[in-house]
Chains A and B, each alone.
Chain A
Amino acid sequence: MSTPIPPLPRWADLFLLPVINLMAALFICGLIVLAIGENPIEALGVMLKGAFVYSGGLGYTLYYTTNFVFTGLAVATAFHAMLFNIGGEGQAYLGGLGAALVAFAMGWAPSIIALPLAIAGAALLGACWGVIPGYLQARRGSHIVITTIMFNFIAASIMVWLLTGPMLEPGQQSPQSAPLPASSHLPAMHEIFAAIGIKISSTPFNASFLLALLALVLFWVLIWRTRLGYAIRAVGQNPEAAHYAGINVPRTIIITMAISGGFAGLLATNEILGVSDRIILNYTAGYGFTGIAVALMGRNHPIGIFLASLLFGALYQGGAELDFEFQSITREMVLLIQGMIILFSGALAYMFNPPLARLIARLTVSRRAAAHG
């Protein structure tokens, strides 16, 4: 048998290991870029410039970041209860329906009433789409991974049906709903800044970003500062122990999935209430799946989730820039990076653990020996 692996110090586990995993993912992607005959360093430079330097780049980056915060929180909430919610995509999709239905119904009301209700509508329908798989897992024993996958497809079918039939904008060919009433429009950041006299470039970056920041704080409070959060983590660590400690495990699972779906549903506040002002077919565009990468990279902690969302926001925006600058590299490169990140910081999360732990142990021992000698 091999020698026991020394435990990894906390700082290395929290910071060094994720960074190493990220580097490994980027390194492999760099090799692929090399293999298709382009310069990976140059590509990275273009992406960084596109994401942060060019006019409007930062706005777009933060607009994407907003999406990933919501879907990342959705996945992370479920992860804390050791539930794997792959259904963020479908929950976000139905969240859009919730936002739109409320917005249409509240068209008569002023923004101050219509907007909060539309946001609640997004969270509510997202939560509904999360709570059913949660219920089926908790009470009927169906595997949540499979049910949430199935629910993604069911959501997609429902939305295709609605957007090509009952909700299709009259006289419109492409599948999308009629525009929402103006009362449920979330103001764009350049509009807000213009109101206080600061001019920034016009981008889709909008007030939902503030909602995302609020969600991050609420998430932290929920998970680490409330009784429910304790129950969620207890169920995640050891359902049996949680049961004997008097926690209602099935109920906790159901509530967790409701919250998880609710976070995912809030994606609609950015995409629909903030940007398109209508439901467009496939508007979720894979953001729900990216949430998995975000939660894994962010280690299910709000600060980590924010940083990972920012990273993916930059990748998405910078990836769009690749289309203009290169012949062979396009924004699909981002999918590749995303896949690699999920692979390295998710499935292979602990591949570098033993060698790193041994290395650190050896370094600290030799330093201690040097101090004594």
Chain B
Amino acid sequence: MADFIYQLLLTFDATLRIATPLIFCAMAGIFAERSGVIDISLEGKLLSGAFVAAAVAALTGSAWLGLGCAILASVAMSLIHGFACITHKGNQVISGVAINILASGLTVVIGITLFRRGGQTPTLPREARFKPVEWVGVDTLDAVPILGVIYRQLISGHNVLVYLTLLAVPLTAFIIYRTRFGLRLRAVGEVPEAVDSAGVSVTWLRYRALMIGGVLCGIGGAYLSVAQGGNFVRDMSAGKGYIALAAVIFGNWKPLAAFLACLMFGFLEAATSRLQGVDLPLIGEVPTQLMLALPYVLTVLLLAGFIGRPSPPAAIGQPYHK
């Protein structure tokens, strides 16, 4: 029993680590999509953030500098997205696809120029990464039966970006539901004409939404390469941006629900890797590769209205013509 609890805790611990970049991207997606801009480019922003963070951390030896530059790079990608689909009213999906492909190419091209390692960045020394933060009292609480393990494994011992992502969720919810900016943001995604006639710039609002998304994706990218991993590997975002987008939809464009969806998708992946090669009673060996498709299958089922009804922002995908 104790072993089972321990295993479960390890799985929850892995869940949180897997979900962190998803949560950052999902919050980014909520900002963009709530303002009426489809954001397929979460993936590309995450990838460019990951690359720049690892490259800068490798060159300067500072994880924080890496994080800062990752944010800048990711915001730059957001600005391209905005330039194409806000300023020039281009197709938002096409722009997103372009950014994802650009990111996938640029990261490798620049990576090879800088490091000549086939697109990877050198492995970072420990001091150039975000290290796990030990919380106070871990050792004293160890004596307490279950609580001690929970405290040590689940709550303490993550790096600062994991805690930051847990902050990002209430912050996103607060901004979207409790501030004037958030009210306008939601309005611009539903009825941009109304916002415009109130004398508020639709363009500037949407740009700001995309830039906030850029910041969040940049942090998520830095997490991948400088906190969770120790270097950048080509295409290391590996579809996480798309899973985050799925989580946004699954969470019905609401921060808390999207957060839970990220945790669920993270848990599925964590459980899958634990179940690799395990024979379960009745089912037999778990086809883990198929389990990895579950987030996508669930999202499709949800979108098709088999699990609840999604209600996307009304003006999503439409460029605003004054």
Please give the distance in Å from B45's CB to the nearest CB on chain A. Answer: 13
With a CB–CB cut-off of 8 A, which chain B residues contact A160?
Answer: 289
B234-251 vs A, CB cutoff 8 Å, 1 = contact: the mask equals: 000001001001100100
**A292 at the B interface (CB under 8 A):** yes
**B50 at the A interface (CB under 8 A):** no
With a CB–CB cut-off of 8 A, which chain B residues contact A147?
Answer: 300, 303-304
With a CB–CB cut-off of 8 A, which chain A residues contact B108?
Answer: 330, 332, 335
Contact between B90 and A349 (Cβ–Cβ < 8 Å)?
yes
**A228 at the B interface (CB under 8 A):** no
Q: A336-B106, A348-B88, A348-B90 are known contacts. Are A153 and B98 too (CB-CB below 8 A)?
A: no
With a CB–CB cut-off of 8 A, which chain B residues contact A333?
Answer: 105, 109
Specify the main secondary structure of chain B where it touches its partner.
Answer: helix
Partner of B245, one of A37, A146, A156: A146
Contact between B303 and A146 (Cβ–Cβ < 8 Å)?
yes
Partner of B105, one of A157, A161, A335, A350: A335
Which of B55-63, B144-152, B167-175, B291-299 faces chain A? Answer: B291-299
Contact between A140 and B305 (Cβ–Cβ < 8 Å)?
yes
A158 CA to B88 CA in the complex, in Å? 39
With a CB–CB cut-off of 8 A, which chain B residues contact A305?
Answer: none
Contact between B102 and A343 (Cβ–Cβ < 8 Å)?
yes
With a CB–CB cut-off of 8 A, which chain A residues contact B99?
Answer: 339, 343
Interface set, chain A 319-349, CB cutoff 8 A to B: 327-330, 332-340, 342-343, 346-349
Number of interface residues of B (CB under 8 A): 48
Please give the distance in Å from A17's CB to the nearest CB on chain B. Answer: 14
Q: A36-B110, A164-B289 are known contacts. Are A347 and B300 too (CB-CB below 8 A)?
A: no
**A251 at the B interface (CB under 8 A):** no
Please give the distance in Å from B303's CB to the nearest CB on chain A. Answer: 4
A295 CA to B114 CA in the complex, in Å? 34
**B183 at the A interface (CB under 8 A):** no
Contact between A157 and B289 (Cβ–Cβ < 8 Å)?
yes
Partner of B102, one of A140, A330, A336: A336
Contact between B85 and A347 (Cβ–Cβ < 8 Å)?
yes
Of all chain A residues, the one with the shortest Cβ separation from B309 is A141
Contact between B289 and A161 (Cβ–Cβ < 8 Å)?
yes
Contact between B93 and A153 (Cβ–Cβ < 8 Å)?
no
**A150 at the B interface (CB under 8 A):** yes
Q: A136-B304, A153-B242, A346-B94 are known contacts. Are A330 and B112 too (CB-CB below 8 A)?
A: yes
Q: A32-B109, A146-B245 are known contacts. Are A339 and B98 too (CB-CB below 8 A)?
A: yes
Q: A338-B101, A343-B95, A350-B88 are known contacts. Are A150 and B246 too (CB-CB below 8 A)?
A: yes
With a CB–CB cut-off of 8 A, which chain A residues contact B90?
Answer: 346-351
With a CB–CB cut-off of 8 A, which chain A residues contact B92?
Answer: 347
Q: A141-B305, A146-B299, A335-B104 are known contacts. Are A153 and B293 too (CB-CB below 8 A)?
A: yes
A296 CA to B83 CA in the complex, in Å? 19
Q: A142-B303, A161-B287 are known contacts. Are A292 and B104 too (CB-CB below 8 A)?
A: no
A347-359 vs B, CB cutoff 8 Å, 1 = contact: the mask equals: 1111100000000
A329 CA to B110 CA in the complex, in Å? 9
**A165 at the B interface (CB under 8 A):** yes
B299-314 vs A, CB cutoff 8 Å, 1 = contact: the mask equals: 1100111000000100
**A149 at the B interface (CB under 8 A):** yes
Contact between A340 and B305 (Cβ–Cβ < 8 Å)?
no
Partner of A150, one of B105, B106, B299, B312: B299
Partner of B84, one of A84, A161, A343: A343
Contact between B95 and A347 (Cβ–Cβ < 8 Å)?
yes
Interface set, chain B 100-157, CB cutoff 8 A to A: 100-106, 108-110, 112-113, 116, 119
Partner of A149, one of B84, B103, B242, B287: B242
Please give the distance in Å from A132's CB to the nearest CB on chain B. Answer: 8
Specify the main secondary structure of chain A where it touches its partner.
Answer: helix
Please give the distance in Å from B89's CB to the nearest CB on chain A. Answer: 8
Of all chain B residues, the one with the shortest Cβ separation from A289 is B101
Please give the distance in Å from A27's CB to the nearest CB on chain B. Answer: 15
A157 CA to B293 CA in the complex, in Å? 6
Q: A36-B109, A150-B299, A332-B109 are known contacts. Are A342 and B242 too (CB-CB below 8 A)?
A: no
Which of B38, B85, B239, B293 has the largest number of chain A CB atoms within 10 A? B293
Of all chain B residues, the one with the shortest Cβ separation from A353 is B88
With a CB–CB cut-off of 8 A, which chain A residues contact B100?
Answer: 339
With a CB–CB cut-off of 8 A, which chain B residues contact A149?
Answer: 40, 242, 245
Of all chain A residues, the one with the shortest Cβ separation from B43 is A149
Q: A157-B292, A347-B88 are known contacts. Are A84 and B246 too (CB-CB below 8 A)?
A: no
Contact between A342 and B98 (Cβ–Cβ < 8 Å)?
yes
Partner of A145, one of B88, B93, B246: B93
Contact between B245 and A36 (Cβ–Cβ < 8 Å)?
no
A36-B113, A140-B303, A149-B245 known, 20 other contacts, Cβ within 8 Å: A86-B93, A136-B304, A141-B305, A143-B303, A145-B40, A150-B242, A153-B239, A157-B290, A157-B292, A157-B293, A161-B290, A165-B289, A289-B101, A328-B112, A330-B112, A338-B101, A346-B97, A347-B84, A347-B85, A348-B84
Please, could you name 24 A-B residue pairs with CB atoms under 8 Å apart, sorted by A?
A36-B109, A84-B94, A86-B97, A136-B303, A136-B304, A145-B38, A146-B245, A147-B304, A150-B299, A153-B239, A154-B293, A156-B293, A157-B292, A157-B293, A158-B290, A161-B287, A330-B109, A334-B105, A339-B99, A339-B105, A342-B97, A343-B99, A347-B84, A349-B90
Which residues of B are interface residues toward A (Cβ below 8 A)? 38, 40, 80, 83-85, 88, 90-95, 97-106, 108-110, 112-113, 116, 119, 239, 242, 245-246, 249, 287, 289-290, 292-293, 296-297, 299-300, 303-305, 312
